[in-house]
Amino acid sequence: MSLEAWRKRPYHRQWLRDQANDLFSFFQNRSFNPDGGFFDLDVTGRPITTDNPVRGIPGTARMVHCFAIGSLLGRPGSDPIVDHGMQFLWNRHRDSDHGGYFWAVDDNGPSDSRKQGYGHAFVLLAASSARLVGHPLADRMLADVTEILETKFWEEGSGAIAEEFNADWSPIAPYRGQNSNMHLTEALMAAFEATAERHYLDKAERIADLIIRRRAAENGYRVAEHFDDNWQLDKTYRGDQMFRPPGTTPGHWLEWSRLILQLWSLGGERMDWMPAAAEALFAQAVAIGWDETRGGFFYNLDWNDSPDLPLKLWWPAAEGAGAAAFLCDHRPSAFHEQWYRNIWDVIARHFIDDERGGWHEELDEEMRPSHTLFAGKADIYHALQACLIPLYPSTGSLTRALVNELDARVPGMPQHPQ
């Protein structure tokens, strides 16, 4: 069987574009909440509730990021989505009294007033992406959230951020988590690409050094999730199953595999340890995180490498596709190409809902749609990026690649920072 790269085949590339277009169409109008922010959607694409729904900051910020991508692609209707989300982040999520951004709000104000590192990472991502499409709030939000991250969350001694605070910035618990730092790494790279300010990239490199070069390598490139405030591993931690599942989460190994290669490329390929680490993370994920019988990645594993919660979620599959695409570019091999195909085969067969649109966010052990953790189809971010990442150079973020493509195709177009 020929292992010529699928990503170079016109049909495959068009298939990916079609899937991305279907995702845009599923979320674009259905998600729009006229009272601000966005609805979470059920499996049919209807709002789960229209009666004063809670809007979490990751969902709002991710919609801004994804429809900034839509704007750069030239999708009509994308700019109003970006503006709607940016206005909601600035006017409703932002705490004008104490600074920072509330984790969740409803029509009456903050419904969860905690200040989470995870949420602030996505505000930074949204502001960075919005800057590339020229949104008028982008610079103010970028400066605001950068100051908050630097003065409230960043811990210089460890080279990473703290996890969470109360609304008045009093600490909550001596917990440190890799997930918030991983998404901040993604956002810091986006901010660097949007502004050319090196301090963003420096922080991303420090986080990666802590989480991957040191802590993941110590555990055989299993990315540990939970730590104390000295960044010592806590194998006993059991938190919220959606955001802080116990044990290890193979989907995050895959996500880091791509992010590490992106960081290596943006940093001028200086960090020699990064490509090998990206390969090791991916190899471990497919070796012990993949269900050899039915396909798909287990949600989380215990410290004996056995499934702790054997659900198959959409986002590890999406991140696996993105990681495989990056590896096929930077470390081409039959192994990476075959896994790129394996992952898309499972996505196409089990996760894409051809009947109602969108992707099933959760499958049970028998690969049937289930709703243990996720009630419907609330997220475009992971699936959209999985569809589009393979279509563009593996040298930076999707938004940066799209801007570069526009700059190359349209002579005289205003240039963005490199």
Catalytic annotation, pick one of 65, 84, 252, 336: 252
183 is catalytic: no
Q: What distance in Å separates the CA atoms of residue 100 and residue 172, rounded to the nearest whole number?
A: 15
Q: Measure the CA angle with vertex 122, ends 119 and 124; round to 5°.
A: 115
- By C-alpha distance, which of 363, 358, 364 is closest to 387? 358
Burial class (CB in 10 A: 0-12, 13-18, 19+), 8: exposed
* Identified catalytic residue from 65, 183, 382, 416: 382
At a CB cut-off of 8 Å and minimum separation 6, what does 104 contact? Answer: 54, 55, 56, 57, 110, 111, 112
Angle in degrees, CA 320, 321, 327, rounded to 5: 85
- Check if the beta carbon of residue 56 is closer than 8 Å to that of residue 104: yes
Nearest of 382, 394, 129 to residue 262 by alpha carbon: 394
Give the span between the Cα atoms of 190 and 96, in whole angstroms: 25
Based on the residue annotation, tell me whether 252 is a catalytic residue of this protein.
yes
Which residues are catalytic, by number? 252, 382
